[in-house]
Amino acid sequence: MKQHKDAHEALSVVLSGQRIFVHGAASTPLRLIDGLVSHAGRLRDVEVMHLHTFGDAAYADPACAESFRVANLFVGGNMRRYYDGGRVDYLPCFLSEIPALFRSGERPIDVALIHLSPPDDHGFCTLGCSVDVALEAIRTARTVIAQINPRMPRVHGDGFVHISRIDHYIEVDDPIPEVPRPVLGEVERAIGRHAAALIEDGATLQMGIGAIPDAVLGALHGHRHLGVHTEMWSDGLLDLIEIGAVDNSRKKSHRGKSVSGFIMGSNRVYEYIDDNPSVIQARIDWVNSPHEIAKNPRVTAINSAVEVDLTGQVCADSIGHRIISGVGGQMDFIRGASLSEGGKPIIALPSRARNGASRIVPALRSGGGVVTTRSHVHYIITEYGVANLYGRTLNERAEALIAIAHPDDREMLAREWRAIRAVSG
């Protein structure tokens, strides 16, 4: 283990042709990324691999084309402008299976860049806001380089890393990236009310970050004994914890504790999770295992989509051929919720996109990826209501989805569906 004066010095050990894993979400090691980019002049054909990260991702800039290429496990907002399907590419994989990707040697890691809380009296740091796939990256990487930050929360669970596992490190004192709370409109609030009506007291929740998850959580203030077993959470869930709506008392797995793979939000969230034994961050192949998810009662999984076709196919990672996110854990939780006793897998989306196009469509646009299949889908929610597709024929599904589309799009959708039936019949 060697301490370095700055990130440039620490990253001098990286060699051309290596694969670099970068810790993601609120644990993005921004100083180490800067240090990596500072070596662009001497490096060639280095693959950078990560989930969603913060920062400007300068290694993806065309100016660094000879030095770095990117294998995105999730195309975050900072990567979309660089994505070209070649040098900056996307690797589709269920979030629950990414650790096995590292472990199997299918995608071996040479260097892991990580962001840690300081070591305790026994030498244990933690992965803080993001355990997810980073734990397996550390376990399998040949070299681990860390930035150690007193502002990183010390979080209980699986994310403990002994200082002896670190090969090189720097010390920083930097703010943890924050995510502003979204502004909710009436569309989101209506979706939130519809979703909340399906959620029972004692349910176990999975939902992410953004306007629709926040709207759903905001409509649950009157609920009681809710539990948390989720890929990630943010400020909207903390509101429910603080008012007592979430107490995790009915869960079968880790009763009394909020379980997740990563957390990102405001400093208020980071202060809450710091050294808080009621919050557990766990490895993502366990958190997102449908078998583990299903152990909890009434798992209600709420996920979003780009568009849904009239048979129930859900596109959630692309707009046509243009990748805008990733597979993530949507299918993990859709399946886990459907196997849970009383569980409810839900896809929630506005009836129309910002440009006015219907998001309930006769057929997915060319290139659109099916993240959740029509065999897995159950509930679809828009601001106009709820369509339960489980146990329904294709024609019954189409009728139910047309009924929750924007009123001005229903005639078009019915006409297109009749044409589809005529051809398929």
Residues with a known catalytic role: 231
Contact of 116 with 147, CB cutoff 8 Å: yes
* Angstrom distances, CA of residue 196 to CA of 185, 221, 223, 293, 301: 16, 10, 9, 20, 12
Residue 351, CA atoms < 13 Å, CB-side half-sphere: 21
Q: How many CB atoms lie within 10 A of CB 243?
A: 11
For residue 240, the surrounding DSSP H or E stretch is helix 235-243
φ/ψ region of 120 (left if φ > 0, alpha if ψ in -120 to 50, else beta) reads beta
Residue type, 331: M
* Angstrom distances, CA of residue 75 to CA of 33, 92, 169, 318, 354: 17, 10, 27, 10, 20
* Angstrom distances, CA of residue 313 to CA of 94, 112, 333, 363, 424: 17, 36, 16, 9, 17
Q: How many CB atoms lie within 10 A of CB 365?
A: 15
- Strands 279-281 vs 258-263: parallel, antiparallel or unpaired: parallel
Contact of 263 with 131, CB cutoff 8 Å: no
- Strands 68-72 vs 88-90: parallel, antiparallel or unpaired: parallel
DSSP letters, 310-359, are: TT--EE-SEETTEE-S--TTHHHHHHHHHHSTT-EEEEE--SB-TTS-BS
CA terminus-to-terminus distance, the chain: 68
Handedness of CA 149, 152, 154, 159 (dihedral sign): negative
Bridge partners (DSSP) of residue 132 are none
Bridge partners (DSSP) of residue 259 are 229, 280
Among the listed residues 166, 139, 155, 134, the one whose alpha carbon sits nearest the alpha carbon of residue 51: 134
* Angstrom distances, CA of residue 220 to CA of 26, 40, 215, 229: 26, 49, 9, 16
